[in-house]
Amino acid sequence: MGERVYFDVVVRTADDADFTANVHTAYNNDYDNSSGLGIGKDKEYIEGYEGRLIDCGGTVGRYVRCYSKGNTTDELNHYVEVEVWGFAQSDLPKD
């Protein structure tokens, strides 16, 4: 049916392109730190044709990186489309 489970999926945001400032991990299903990005607490999931929503919960950041390390079918990673939704810093709600 074309459904796969992807391994070591990690989604991170940061303030800089080098990912050294204000790095936040939004999703991590790497159970053994084989990605070198830390042990994750998220579960692996079956990827379908609709994709997966990863809610970053109001995280502030300028850059997004998506990592993964193969799947149940082969060693490839398949990113058809990645959408990032957010607000400009000036449009953020005031506390």
Taking only the tens place, the pLDDT of each residue in 36-76 is 999 999 999 888 888 889 988 888 899 999 999 999 999 98
Residue whose structure tokens are 């692996």? 44
Is residue 92, in this structure, part of any structural domain at all?
no
Q: Domain for residue 95, yes or no? A: no
Q: Which residues contact 17 (CB under 8 A, 6 or more apart)?
A: 63
- Residue 93 in domain: no
In this prediction, residue 58 carries a pLDDT of: 83
Counted domains in the chain: 1
Residue 47 CB partners (closer than 8 Å, separation 6+): 3, 4, 5, 6, 71
The pTM assigned to this predicted structure is: 0.85
**Domain range spanning residue 58?**
1-87
Query: pLDDT band for position 34 (50/70/90)?
Result: very high
Strands, E, within 1-91: which ranges? 4-5, 10-14, 24-28, 46-47, 63-67
95 falls in which pLDDT band (50, 70, 90)? low
